[in-house]
Structure 1
Amino acid sequence: MIRYYNRKNKAYEIEQVAGEKALNWTYSSPLGLNLLEIVIKKKMFSSLYGWYLDRSVSRKKIGPFIQKFNLDMSMAEKRLKDFASFNDFFYRKLKSSARPIDPDSHALISLGDGRLLAYEKIDLDNLVQVKGLTYSLRDLLKNDRVAERYQKGTCLILRLCPTDYHRYHFIDSGTCENTEKIRGAYYSVNPIALQKVRKLFCENKREWSTFHSDHFGDVLYVEVGATCVGSIIQTYSPQKRVSRGEEKGYFKFGGSTVILFFEPGRVGIDEDILKQTELGYESYVLLGEKIGIKLEASEI
């Protein structure tokens, strides 16, 4: 059972986990763990399932998925009958009115929908995966020079569940560099898996890029794939100016994670999110909502 904090009603809720029984069995039983290492974490497994979800025959999964997780489809751009496949539905676009962007340009907004953890004054060699398990930003990026810039900075981890909107966006206006791609495994990023696999984010397939933002300095975006995520799709154009809230990319089927790193002294995260992180709970956020503020020189 996974509990998270709902900022809107200031209460804890229980997450509806897609494939929860299979997930628990895979990461808890000896047979499941063996199958995980031999088959499930491999690219072939996720690619094959992703191929099926791109086919029109997978449309039959859409209705039951919507019903089981009580998804509000009134916010989607397409009508239900217009989705060509399950993946087409999974990474669906939303109407512009569905996720209003906080109007204050100095407000730090969420890059997407999901469950958020926030850490300040980070130690590059002891980033928190879950309580008791850590990893290194150097290992995550495979680039020591870039990693060093974020020592004592801020780290945000946004976990996207299969039931969430699966597009991610820019938190500010600015320009973004080319994406660096790192091959890896396809472990789940669900908390159940994070408690079992050491340095999971450094094991999984991932992509990273540096975003030169107008208000928050150089922000590091790291997109992490997961089980059944056949592709991480970047839709932005490198070196071309983007607007706050503009789309950066999307994930195909599966739970996924985007991790942001800020240089020291750039942002202050909202107290409720920091408090819940300290208590061990993720905070549920939506694209465009305020999660922090730009720090001025006098506040550093």
Structure 2
Amino acid sequence: MASPRIKFPHVKRYKLFIFWATLILAFTEIHQFGPRYLLECWILPNLFFDTNIMAQSSLKQYLRSLRWTPLPVGVGLALIAFQQYRHTRKREAARLGQADPCDCLADEWEVQAYKLLPLRQFSKAWGWVNGLELPEWSRKSVLGLYVRTFGCDMAEAEVEDLGKYKCLSELFRRSLKDGVRPIDPSAAVVSPADGKVMSFGMVNCGALDQVKGVSYSLRKFLGPNCWNAGGPMVVTKRDDDDCFHRTCLKDGENNALYQCVVYLSPGDYHRFHSCADWKVDFRRHFPGELLSVNPSIAAWVRNLFVLNERASYVGQWKYGFFSMTAVGATNVGSIQVYFDEELKTNDVIRNKSVFHDKHFDDRLVELSRGRAFGEFNLGSTIVLVFEAPKGTVPCVEVGQRVRMGQALFRIPHSYVGMTLDETVHQGTQR
């Protein structure tokens, strides 16, 4: 079922034209260097004309006399390096508390320019390369280079011998030995994957934390509310995030919304699992972009998770609303969910501004903590948004490394499956 288009802020086209024209022209001529040439090419465009033609009345002849001089490649590289240096300085100042994190965010025209890159095509090409079968004699050296580069722990893999993996994609999606990821029996919500916690905590006024100091809209992230009692979409004020926030709560008096973002790096275990005991009602697929979700990019691009392709699975658990969203990224256009074979990601045919819903009314999808949910092709992000009693205790910190099955949140007076002598718990777990 297709739903209304998602509208994004208008960006002046001339800024994008200037940006990309500068970069394209910067790389068109490499053979011309020298002080005089550099001085002549600092201004874009550099127009040369004959003063005698200016005196002529023929505008046509005057226009024909104009010629464009491209910037040298050095100037283009210097421009890119300067932009990167400026953003690095801002991020460092924000980390030290000397600047507001919002000051480090990219301008709209920069984000639009970033989106113009052929990231979807590049991701498809990368997926094709990953699926190429390697000659048996080269597997240990090629795959071993990847393992050493990203620090993969092959001792935990069900198949430790690199020679048994036919391609890089099989290594990404490797399974683990039984028992190496025990599920915390006391936590109502456990980590769905190995990775790093980018943000966590209570959702306030319909805003989710992308990283510390940078937030995005829950309403834009999940789309229109159609999960209340399985009814039609709840229409709220277009810009009222707080109103949308309240429609997600089953018990607004005693409960609150909580969220947690887990980032999977290229070296992590690439499968993800159910983080709680819950029932999935429907899936909402947003085609979107495939921008990088690396923490440094997440701290630079506003509304990154709203822009990117994602598959949101929404349902109910003991305390009310529950959702788990797999976010795509550069080189991670392929998101596979084991119980949803119809999900097709990184599909250029689909309109990126329209989301698509699928309801699971015909069959029951009940998930328990730790049950296999799906897999990424390289590494990406899982976003959890759920309803729980007020006073729910987080068990992690921002920047902490977690493993699948480790406790994320504990609910007061709820010990899930523990005995009475095991009901005393500490705070953060390492």
Confirm or deny a common fold (TM above 0.5): yes
Aligned partners of 2:198 and 2:295 also within 8 Å: no
Greater Cα shift, 52-61 or 65-74: 52-61
Q: 1:196 to 1:296 in 2, by over 3 A?
A: same
Aligned partners of 2:134 and 2:167 also within 8 Å: yes
Mapped to 1, the partners of 2:195 and 2:296 lie a distance apart of: 16
Partner of 1:96: 178
The CA deviation at 1:154 is 0.4
The CA deviation at 1:162 is 0.8
In the superposition, the TM-score normalised over structure 1's length comes to: 0.77
Aligned partners of 1:124 and 1:138 also within 8 Å: no
1:77 equivalent to 2:126? Answer no
Task: Output one character per residue of 1:55-82: Cα deviation in whole Å (capped at 9) or x when no partner.
Answer: 1149564210112233221211123211
Q: 1:201 to 1:46 in 2, by over 3 A?
A: same
| Higher relative contact order, chain-length normalized (CA < 8 Å, sep 6+) | 1
Q: 1:52 to 1:216 in 2, by over 3 A?
A: farther
Percent identity over the alignment is: 29
| Higher Rg | 2
* Gapped regions of structure 1 (runs ≥ 5): 1-23
Partner of 1:116: 197
Aligned partners of 2:320 and 2:388 also within 8 Å: no
In the superposition, the TM-score normalised over structure 2's length comes to: 0.55
115, 122, 139: which is aligned to 1:37? Answer: 115
Letter in 1 for 2:149: K
Q: What are the equivalent positions in structure 2 for 1:1-300 lying under 5 Å apart?
A: 28=84, 36-40=114-118, 42-57=119-134, 61-78=142-159, 79-104=161-186, 106-146=187-227, 148-149=247-248, 152-213=256-317, 215-236=318-339, 239-253=364-378, 255-265=379-389, 268-270=392-394, 273=396, 276-277=397-398, 282-296=399-413
Aligned partners of 2:115 and 2:291 also within 8 Å: no
Aligned partners of 1:267 and 1:292 also within 8 Å: no
Letter in 1 for 2:146: F
* Gapped regions of structure 2 (runs ≥ 5): 1-79, 87-109, 228-243, 341-359, 415-430
RMSD (CA atoms): 2.9
The CA deviation at 1:29 is 7.3
Mapped to 1, the partners of 2:178 and 2:391 lie a distance apart of: 27
Mapped to 1, the partners of 2:226 and 2:164 lie a distance apart of: 47
The CA deviation at 1:264 is 4.3
Mapped to 1, the partners of 2:172 and 2:151 lie a distance apart of: 14
Task: Output one character per residue of 1:99-131: Cα deviation in whole Å (capped at 9) or x when no partner.
Answer: 111233x54321111111443331254322234
